[in-house]
Amino acid sequence: MKKLIMGMAALALLFTSCEKDQPENVNELAQESVDMSDFYVHTDYNDEDGKAAQNGKNCYSMKNLNRLLKEDDKLYRKMYDIEKNTRSILAKSSNANKGKPGSGDGGTTPPPTDNIGIVTIPVVVTVVYSNSQENISEAQINSQIAVLNADFRAQNSDASNTPSEFASVVADSEVQFTLAGVRRYSNATTQWGTNDAVKGQYPPETPATTLNIWVCNIGGGILGYAQFPGGPAATDGVVVGPNYFGNTGYVSAPFDKGRTVTHEVGHYLNLRHIWGDGRCQQDDFVADTPSSDGPNYGCPSYPTTNCRSTDMTMNYMDYTNDNCMYMFSSGQKSRLRTVFASSGPRAAMAP
Q: Note the residue count of the chain.
A: 351
Give the residue with the Cβ less far from ligand ARG, 69 or 350.
Answer: 69
Other residues' Cβ atoms within 10 Å of the Cβ of residue 56? 13
Q: In Å, what is the CA distance from 308 to each residue of 256, 285, 296?
A: 32, 18, 15
Figure out which of the listed residues 75, 150, 223, 312 binds ligand ARG, where binding follows CB under 6 A: 223
Residue of 83, 134, 174, 264 marked active site: 264
Q: At what angle do helices 75-93 and 2-32 cross, to 10 degrees?
A: 120
Chain centroid, CA 161 distance in Å: 22
CB of 81 to ligand ARG, least distance (A): 25
From Zn ion, ligand ARG, Ca ion, none, interface partner of 286 (C-beta below 5 to 8 A by class) = Ca ion
Figure out which of the listed residues 41, 59, 90, 327 binds Zn ion, where binding follows CB under 5 A: 59
Q: Catalytic site residue 19? A: no
If binding means CB under 5 A, how many residues of this protein chain bind Zn ion?
2
Is residue 245 near ligand ARG by the rule CB under 6 A? no
Cα separation, 211 vs 125, whole angstroms: 8
Cα separation, 152 vs 150, whole angstroms: 6
Figure out which of the listed residues 46, 53, 61, 86 binds ligand ARG, where binding follows CB under 6 A: 61
CB of 317 to Ca ion, least distance (A): 10
Figure out which of the listed residues 126, 289, 315, 334 binds Ca ion, where binding follows CB under 5 A: 289
Cα separation, 293 vs 154, whole angstroms: 26
Is residue 259 near ligand ARG by the rule CB under 6 A? yes
**Phi, psi (5° rounding) for residue 315?**
-80, 145
Figure out which of the listed residues 46, 58, 61, 88 binds Zn ion, where binding follows CB under 5 A: 61
Figure out which of the listed residues 321, 330, 332, 338 binds ligand ARG, where binding follows CB under 6 A: 321
CB of 193 to Zn ion, least distance (A): 17
Span 21-40, contacts to ligand ARG by CB under 6 A: none
Please name the amino acid found at residue 189: T
Is residue 224 near ligand ARG by the rule CB under 6 A? yes
CB of 67 to Zn ion, least distance (A): 15
Cα separation, 174 vs 166, whole angstroms: 19
**Phi, psi (5° rounding) for residue 66?**
-60, -40
Q: In Å, what is the CA distance from 41 to each residue of 69, 212, 294, 341?
A: 9, 23, 16, 21
Cα separation, 234 vs 175, whole angstroms: 23
From Ca ion, ligand ARG, Zn ion, none, interface partner of 57 (C-beta below 5 to 8 A by class) = ligand ARG
Element (H, E) at 306: strand 305-306
Is residue 312 near ligand ARG by the rule CB under 6 A? no
Question: Which residues in this chain contact Zn ion in the complex, by CB under 5 A?
Answer: 59, 61
Active site residues: 264
Question: What are the residues binding ligand ARG (CB under 6 A)?
Answer: 57, 59-61, 222-225, 255, 259-260, 263, 319-322, 325
